Structure 1
Amino acid sequence: MADTVRWGILATGKIAHAFAHDLALVPDTEIAAVGSRRIAAAEEFSARHTGGAATAHGSYEELVADPAVDVVYVATPHALHLENARLAFAAGKHVLCEKPLTLTTQDAEEMVRLARERGLFLMEAMWMACHPVIRALRERLHAGDFGTPRALRAELGFAVDAPPEDRMFNPALGGGALLDMGVYPLTFAHLMLGEAESLSAQAGLGPTGVDLDVAVAGRYAGGAVATMTASMTGWSSCTAAIATDRGRIELPWEFNHPRHATYTEVGPDGPTHPQRIAGAEPVIGQGYGNEIAEVGRCLREGLLESPLVPHAQTLTLMRQMDALREQIGVRYAADA
């Protein structure tokens, strides 16, 4: 791997623009090419983020074939991830694929198999797991700095202002609150408490059959419990908290990429002054930059998966979401 990691951006939607913005802040990293089904969209993206320096391609096939690209960022809707990653692997390219990795565990296992078969790097773009504050909190919680966790709460939701045909409401594209938003609370609980021993869910479904609102209750090791919610119809607090036997940890608005967290110990005389929990390294941009830096580190070290977002963790979360969808009655064509 050369000193500079050269990225190919596959698709030019909203998430790809946010990703490209933070990529510009990561040293020894560049966008070499961008691909879209419309050449005009690729050219506009290249002009906006690289001043036209990145090669614009009018197809995903042309993008993955570009010899200037080392790693492909797959930013298409969930239902297209496996198809797009397969293209990249066939062209010998490493892959960072947006979350959730696929619609089903079976497809996710196939993507992992293809990467391993080709000897290529694959990581789900769970940027929260690469975030310095989340990493510091997890390490200190597991070290016992805040006591033993007993109850966790995490919620992420906002009113989706989009027409009925939008991908968020489209079951053919993997629409629904669980896969788009619920993956964050579920992953947060997994990072902090370990693998769930049991999960149960309730949901409200929309006219297209996707889950608009979902609530999940979980039990974890040592009897710890968690409540996790996701919503496409209402504005939640978008916060998280962990109650321990010594005090309380709180993450503010947008807990999945926070600027800080706080720990308040509760003693005989009541709560103490909150302690600020910060990361060991700076947050790069919104936090996508830390994910991008982790991919670069892994590629330079010859790793095929990241220890921060290992394949086993991604597959565990996929199995959880498959089981939860079965409970709430949400099915996709890929389930067949």
Structure 2
Amino acid sequence: MADAPDTIGWGILATGKIARTFATDLAMVPGARLAAVGSRTIGPARTFADEYGDDRTRAHATYDDLLADPDVDVVYIATPHALHLAGARAAFEAGKHVLCEKPLTLRTSDAEEMVRLARTHDRFLMEAMWMACHPVVRQLRTELTAGRFGTPRQLQAELGFRVDAPLTDRMFAPELGGGALLDMGIYPLTLAHLMLGEAESLSAEAVMADTGVDLDIAIAGRYPGGALATMNASMTSWSSRRAAIATDLGRIELGPEFHHPEQAVFVPRDRGSEPTVLTGTEPVVGVGYGNEIIEVGRCLREGLRESPLVPHAQTLTLLRQMDALRASCGIAYPDDPA
């Protein structure tokens, strides 16, 4: 069956766990199809294409072949963090748009270069911060900004799970951007940015692994209007994965996992008032990756080169924050500026 004229062909670069979750949600999005997948060898690519694509989905044994595929309009880069810039550069040079996994790169200077390349080649670029595209998060941000739930004064968010993997795993490798901050801490930092605005100051304490990455990190931040946030990320313990925002009128609970919540509940301090439950003004597609896929499709059809939900400036701001937090905690990666 022929695709609709405005169907967007997706290419997936790498075939790991997150790429599989993404591909599952991609199949649920009207006007989007998995056109091709690329890996370093043909076996994983073929298996991935057979499982998540259709009879027209191509499997490529190299990333270069994937990027040369004429049916691919936009590439989802799902490699480890340290490989993002090289993958995006090759995609832009091949004329493809890019959705790149978070964090966009290991450090701000690399992200600035990726944004520069996107502009030079006149291509769309978005960090795959799916939480910012989630209907519940978007609705809560709108309602909070409008003052419906009062003035936010305190935010708490934590994301952690035990990483039972050998020290050779990429999560423990500084050269691949391992550690709790970049993989998990980016979520509470982004939530605070979305709900409170750009941080005025941040400080942190971290516990380090023998390999030099952060196992656990606790972050405190001051935000506009005197709002405060406490944010935690962990590779050693099972956190609640919830978030809460205390306002001068009550309390908002976001969960059961705040980075892709089922709902946000505002419980007013006034006992005579009923709680307000937010479930989003549009459906959650799949586990939520579908909503960022929809946003990319909308932007491409409208000729945009960045998304208003995940603008380049926001991505760069969060990376600058993580650069500063790494420096304060002694978390260093190879090729960090001296």
Q: TM-score range by the shorter chain?
A: over 0.9
In the other structure, the counterpart of 2:166 is 163
In the other structure, the counterpart of 2:143 is 140
1:117-128, aligned counterparts within 5 Å? 117-128=120-131
Is residue 106 of structure 1 aligned with residue 113 of structure 2?
Answer: no
Question: 1:13 touches 1:75 (CA, 8 Å); kept in 2?
Answer: yes
Task: Write the letter of the residue equivalent to 1:274.
Answer: P
Task: Write the letter of the residue equivalent to 1:193.
Answer: L
Shift in Å at residue 271 of structure 1?
A: 7.3
Q: Provide the rounded CA distance (Å) in 2 between the counterparts of 1:329 and 1:128.
A: 28
Over the residues paired in the alignment, what is the CA RMSD in angstroms?
A: 1.1
In the other structure, the counterpart of 2:34 is 31
Cα deviations by residue, 1:125-151 (Å, 9 ceiling, x for unpaired): 000000000000000000000000000
Q: Provide the rounded CA distance (Å) in 1 between the counterparts of 2:39 and 2:152.
A: 45
SS in 2 for 1:199: strand
In the other structure, the counterpart of 1:331 is 332
Question: 1:98 touches 1:125 (CA, 8 Å); kept in 2?
Answer: yes
In the other structure, the counterpart of 1:193 is 196
Q: 1:213 aligns with which of 196, 211, 216?
A: 216
Q: Provide the rounded CA distance (Å) in 2 between the counterparts of 1:5 and 1:322.
A: 35
Q: Provide the rounded CA distance (Å) in 2 between the counterparts of 1:298 and 1:281.
A: 17
Does the C-alpha gap of structure 1 residues 301 and 201 become closer, same or farther in structure 2, counting only changes over 3 Å? same
Gaps of 5+ in 2: none
Task: Write the letter of the residue equivalent to 1:79.
Answer: A
SS in 2 for 1:335: coil
Shift in Å at residue 243 of structure 1?
A: 0.1
Task: Calculate the TM-score normalised by the size of structure 1.
Answer: 0.98
Task: Write the letter of the residue equivalent to 2:213.
Answer: V
In the other structure, the counterpart of 2:320 is 319
Cα deviations by residue, 1:253-286 (Å, 9 ceiling, x for unpaired): 211001111000002xx47442211211000000
Q: 2:87 aligns with which of 56, 80, 84?
A: 84
In the other structure, the counterpart of 2:265 is 262
SS in 2 for 1:320: helix
In the other structure, the counterpart of 1:47 is 50
Q: Provide the rounded CA distance (Å) in 1 between the counterparts of 2:55 and 2:67.
A: 18
Cα deviations by residue, 1:144-179 (Å, 9 ceiling, x for unpaired): 000000000000000012111111111111000000
Is residue 244 of structure 1 aligned with residue 247 of structure 2?
Answer: yes
Shift in Å at residue 124 of structure 1?
A: 0.1
Task: Calculate the TM-score normalised by the size of structure 2.
Answer: 0.97
Question: 2:256 touches 2:262 (CA, 8 Å); kept in 1?
Answer: no
Q: Provide the rounded CA distance (Å) in 2 between the counterparts of 1:271 and 1:80.
A: 54
Cα deviations by residue, 1:64-95 (Å, 9 ceiling, x for unpaired): 11111000000000000000000100000000
In the other structure, the counterpart of 2:305 is 304
Task: Write the letter of the residue equivalent to 1:203.
Answer: A
SS in 1 for 2:269: strand
Shift in Å at residue 2 of structure 1?
A: 4.6
Q: Provide the rounded CA distance (Å) in 2 between the counterparts of 1:202 and 1:38.
A: 41
In the other structure, the counterpart of 1:129 is 132
Shift in Å at residue 57 of structure 1?
A: 0.3
Q: How many equivalent residue pairs?
A: 334
Q: Provide the rounded CA distance (Å) in 2 between the counterparts of 1:271 and 1:103.
A: 49
Is residue 73 of structure 1 aligned with residue 71 of structure 2?
Answer: no
Is residue 59 of structure 1 aligned with residue 65 of structure 2?
Answer: no
Question: 1:104 touches 1:334 (CA, 8 Å); kept in 2?
Answer: no
Question: 1:124 touches 1:309 (CA, 8 Å); kept in 2?
Answer: yes
Cα deviations by residue, 1:306-333 (Å, 9 ceiling, x for unpaired): 0000000000000000000001101111
Q: Provide the rounded CA distance (Å) in 2 between the counterparts of 1:13 and 1:2.
A: 30
SS in 2 for 1:213: strand
Q: Provide the rounded CA distance (Å) in 1 between the counterparts of 2:299 and 2:306.
A: 7
Percent identical across equivalent pairs?
Answer: 68
Question: 1:147 touches 1:245 (CA, 8 Å); kept in 2?
Answer: yes
Q: Provide the rounded CA distance (Å) in 1 between the counterparts of 2:39 and 2:166.
A: 23
Q: Provide the rounded CA distance (Å) in 2 between the counterparts of 1:334 and 1:183.
A: 21
Q: Provide the rounded CA distance (Å) in 2 between the counterparts of 1:119 and 1:51.
A: 30
- Runs of 4 or more above 3 Å deviation: 270-273
Task: Write the letter of the residue equivalent to 1:334.
Answer: D
Gaps of 5+ in 1: none
